[in-house]
Amino acid sequence: MEFLREDSRSLDQLREARIITGFTMHAEGSVLIEMGNTKVICTASISEKLPPFLRNKGRGWVTAEYSMLPRATEDRNIREAAKGKLSGRTMEIQRLIGRSLRACIDLEKLGERSITVDCDVIQADGGTRTASITGGFIALAIAVNKLIAEGKLPENPILSNVAAISVGIVGDKPMIDLKYTEDAAAQVDMNVIMNADGEYVEVQGTGEEATYSRAELNAMLDLAEQGIKELVEMQNKAIEEGSN
């Protein structure tokens, strides 16, 4: 692949990633994840209380919330708190993050407690939902390690890492980790969430007023698989670093 992108990346190249653990002091797990110019604060908050409808079932719960600072984007967005309701986009994203994180953890082994993963985008340049999943898993794993260190969990409930990346077709070319300008120009936009064993947790591929063939689908899945592997390695380093 010789074609170079706007920021000189090759088609299968991730943006430069950076993970700062312990980014804020109160949360049981906390990271700042940067994928290029996309920056998300992910915190994991443990509560020993479950919401009423989940109590007394011998299992815990993991949920996620997602938000953007109003000026995370090129133009300022009105706060959802000011509008008085969450947008459909926000709900869709936070449901996706929650589902993805729950796929990587044995809720029975977690015990009757809940962990809320908050993903707050402080700067956006495409791929905020996939960065939230990748970073959210790190915060979650650090919080779980804290529970283990405190002797509150007899067994590690984490089943496997979960990480996510966007792939897409831009100018008829499949490519990975789209930045905002690429995303805006994409014919197809796909988010792939996988575990450390190369199995799918979720695949969402959307033609943007366009359609795509099975061959294109396969090309995108190939790209994603490779990228996820790199992310899983980064996660493991960060979790080790953040759990001490």
Residues that bind a copy of itself (CB under 8 A): 24-27, 30, 37, 39, 41, 43, 45, 47, 65, 67, 69-74, 76, 79-86, 88-92, 94-95, 99, 102-103, 107, 116, 118, 120, 122-123, 160, 194-195, 197, 199-207, 209-214, 217, 221
Residue 31 backbone phi and psi in degrees, to 5: -135, 155
Which is closer to a copy of itself, CB of 79 or CB of 237?
79
Shortest separation between residue 69's beta carbon and a copy of itself, angstroms: 5
H or E segment at 225? helix 214-242
Residue 95 is labelled as binding a ligand: no
Shortest separation between residue 30's beta carbon and a copy of itself, angstroms: 8
Shortest separation between residue 28's beta carbon and a copy of itself, angstroms: 9
Residue 73 is labelled as binding a ligand: no
| β partners of residue 81 | none
Q: Is 139 helix (H, G, I), strand (E, B) or coil?
A: helix
Residue 76 is labelled as binding a ligand: no
Q: CB-hemisphere CA count at 13 Å for 110?
A: 27
Shortest separation between residue 66's beta carbon and a copy of itself, angstroms: 10
| β partners of residue 188 | 169, 207
Residue at token pair 């790199």: 230
**Rg for the chain (alpha carbons), in Å?**
18
H or E segment at 200? strand 200-207
Which is closer to a copy of itself, CB of 74 or CB of 150?
74
Residue 55 is labelled as binding a ligand: no
> Residue positions in the annotated binding site for phosphate?
89, 127-129
